[in-house]
Amino acid sequence: MPAQIRRQGEWMRPVDERILEHLSERALSSSPRVILSRTEFHDLDVSKIGVRERLRVLSQAGLVEPSTPNHGSFELTVWGRMYLDGDVAADQIVPYPDARRAGYVLG
């Protein structure tokens, strides 16, 4: 079966794909510190705060979700897996904070 083409949203940054791929490969949650320690992130100009911010945006888009109450670690959602498989078009998603989606709004 041919690889699916991912449709990125205008809101996405290059680091977003790597974060999603990292979470997919680990099959467990990861913190910004652990994510940033991976060699595939060394060529990107991104800090721990930058990774945390991108996780917040990906969370608001529904592609990842916090796995701890303090939002210290994140895991891939079903939608995140579907995006990586090419089954969800991120260009149709608009990340936004929504208090009705507990855990998706980070302080």
The CATH number for 55's domain is 1.10.10.10
Please state, rounded to an integer, the average pLDDT across all residues of the chain.
Answer: 82
Among 30, 22, 94, 16, which Cα is nearest to 62's?
94
Tell me how far apart the alpha carbons of residues 93 and 88 are, in angstroms, rounded to a whole number: 9
Token pair listed for 1 = 């079966």
User: Does the residue 3 lie in any domain?
Assistant: no
Token pair listed for 80 = 């995140």
Q: Give me the domain span that covers residue 74.
A: 14-92
In the predicted model, is pLDDT for residue 105 greater than 70? no
pLDDT classification of 50: cutoffs 50, 70, 90? confident
Bridge partner residues of 76 (DSSP):
64
CA distances in angstroms from 86 to 22, 32, 104, listed in the order given? 16, 25, 23
Among 1, 17, 2, 15, which Cα is nearest to 90's?
17
pLDDT classification of 98: cutoffs 50, 70, 90? low
